[in-house]
């Protein structure tokens, strides 16, 4: 039945409650109208007559028009001819068809591929050859012949390097002297075995006790660095509190104030509980309050 009217399915079709006149070839509906799918296509609720030269119907619509996907390409409602080998590997660039083996769509512009390549991608606004180049921060950089493609990495936008044998230090490429001790210090390479990096430059070590105080190297056995300022090391256990050097065996810095450390418990166990000193073990700190450990006070407030 078509709605409330009977019909014969072998020779008729019901489209939106309306039965078509007897015609065995009208087998599809398009926006309520019957049509013969051998010679017509329903594109965007419109019946379009189309017959390919081979007698085969196209397999797709482009807007309200039918087209043969073997000979054309649809780009944003526009049909472009692929005939005569002009578009062997078709694609769309906004509303224009192009051949990806010859051109690349970067942004909304169709640009020629780099010479000799059929595998191009966009690097910024321009195409590059994925086989021989890397896209480094929007710049096409050629991979040196000495670097395998699968090893190549960008050194910022300035070059390409092999991390197995080279270093990239702020855009500068260096060949490693030693695989393990060659490292970067700012834009320079240095040996961590004989030098120390006191940013922004490497300096020669004068022993195992070498350290940096800002950009200056110093001997930790003779001097102490307190907030970027070197002072003579007057205490065996020196530390820094609000820009002042102090004896860690006698005091502890809590909230930029020195608190005395007693002699009954080793200084290494002294810690801060808020602005006061306490000894981890015999005492406990909960919510900046000090309790004797035997009271078994937990920081959740329960006993």
How confident is the model at residue 154, as a pLDDT?
97
The residue that leads in pLDDT, 49 or 126, is: 126
Under the banding of pLDDT at 50, 70 and 90, the label for residue 269 is confident
How confident is the model at residue 56, as a pLDDT?
58
Q: How far apart are CA 33 and CA 26, in angstroms?
A: 10
pLDDT at 168 over 50: yes
Q: pLDDT tens, 184-210?
A: 999 999 999 999 999 889 999 988 899
pLDDT at 84 over 60: no
Of 22, 20, 21, give the one whose Cα is nearest residue 30. Answer: 20
How confident is the model at residue 284, as a pLDDT?
86
Summarize the confidence of residues 124-153 as an average pLDDT.
94
Q: What are phi and psi of 131, to 5 degrees?
A: -80, -30
Q: How far apart are CA 130 and CA 74, in angstroms?
A: 27
Neighbouring CB atoms inside 10 A of 116's CB total 8
Under the banding of pLDDT at 50, 70 and 90, the label for residue 21 is confident
Of 168, 116, 182, give the one whose Cα is nearest residue 137. Answer: 168
Return the bridge partners of 98, or none. Answer: 91
Q: What are phi and psi of 45, to 5 degrees?
A: 60, 20
Could you tell me where the beta strands, DSSP code E, fall in 3-45? 14-15, 18-19, 28-30, 33-35, 40-43
Whether 181 and 192 have beta carbons less than 8 Å apart is answered as: yes
Q: How far apart are CA 131 and CA 145, in angstroms?
A: 12
How confident is the model at residue 172, as a pLDDT?
96
Confidence (pTM): 0.64
Of 89, 65, 90, 87, give the one whose Cα is nearest residue 77. Answer: 65
Q: pLDDT tens, 224-246?
A: 999 999 999 989 999 999 999 99
Q: Mean pLDDT of all residues in the chain?
A: 87
Region of poorest pLDDT, from 14-23, 173-182, 194-203? 14-23
Whether 66 and 48 have beta carbons less than 8 Å apart is answered as: yes
Q: How far apart are CA 283 and CA 280, in angstroms?
A: 6
Q: How far apart are CA 134 and CA 152, in angstroms?
A: 8
How confident is the model at residue 167, as a pLDDT?
97
Q: How far apart are CA 80 and CA 77, in angstroms?
A: 10
pLDDT at 61 over 90: no
The percentage of the chain sitting over the pLDDT mark of 90, rounded to a whole number, equals 51
The residue that leads in pLDDT, 252 or 269, is: 252
Whether 192 and 176 have beta carbons less than 8 Å apart is answered as: no
Summarize the confidence of residues 55-59 as an average pLDDT.
60
pLDDT at 85 over 60: no
Of 142, 14, 244, 258, give the one whose Cα is nearest residue 131. Answer: 142
Of 67, 75, 124, give the one whose Cα is nearest residue 100. Answer: 75
The residue that leads in pLDDT, 109 or 60, is: 109
Determine the Cα angle at 216 with ends 222 and 255, to 5°.
Answer: 75
Under the banding of pLDDT at 50, 70 and 90, the label for residue 71 is confident
The residue that leads in pLDDT, 191 or 47, is: 191
How confident is the model at residue 302, as a pLDDT?
42
* Ramachandran category for residue 32: left, alpha or beta (phi over 0 → left; psi -120 to 50 → alpha): left
How confident is the model at residue 58, as a pLDDT?
60
> Could you give the 3-state DSSP secondary structure of residue 280?
strand
């Amino acid at each position: 039945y078509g709605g409330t009217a009977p019909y014969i399915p072998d020779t008729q079709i019901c489209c939106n409650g309306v039965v078509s006149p007897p015609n065995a070839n009208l087998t599809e509906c398009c926006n309520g109208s019957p049509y013969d799918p051998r010679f017509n296509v329903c594109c965007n609720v419109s019946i379009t007559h189309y017959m390919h030269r081979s007698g085969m119907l196209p397999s797709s619509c482009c807007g309200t028009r039918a087209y043969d996907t073997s000979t054309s390409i649809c780009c944003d409602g526009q049909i472009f001819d692929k005939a005569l080998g002009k578009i062997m590997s078709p694609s769309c660039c906004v509303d224009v068809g192009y051949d990806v083996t010859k051109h690349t769509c970067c942004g909304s512009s169709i640009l020629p591929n780099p010479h000799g390549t059929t595998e191009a991608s966009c690097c910024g606004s321009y195409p590059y050859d994925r086989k021989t180049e890397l896209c480094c921060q929007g710049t096409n950089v050629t991979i040196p012949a000495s670097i395998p493609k699968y090893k190549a990495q960008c050194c910022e936008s300035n070059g390409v390097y092999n991390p197995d044998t080279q270093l990239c230090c702020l855009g500068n490429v260096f060949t490693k002297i030693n695989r393990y001790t060659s490292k970067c210090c700012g834009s320079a390479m240095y040996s961590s075995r004989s030098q120390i990096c006191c940013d922004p430059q490497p300096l020669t070590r004068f022993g195992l006790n070498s350290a940096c105080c800002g950009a200056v190297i110093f001997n930790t056995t003779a001097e102490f660095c307190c907030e970027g300022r070197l002072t003579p090391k007057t205490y065996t256990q020196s530390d820094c509190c609000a820009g002042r050097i102090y004896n860690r065996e006698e005091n502890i810095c809590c909230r930029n104030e020195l608190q005395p450390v007693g002699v009954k418990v080793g200084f290494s166990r002294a810690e801060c509980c808020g602005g006061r000193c306490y000894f981890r073990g015999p005492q406990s700190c909960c919510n900046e309050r000090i309790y004797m450990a035997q009271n078994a006070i937990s920081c959740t407030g329960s006993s």
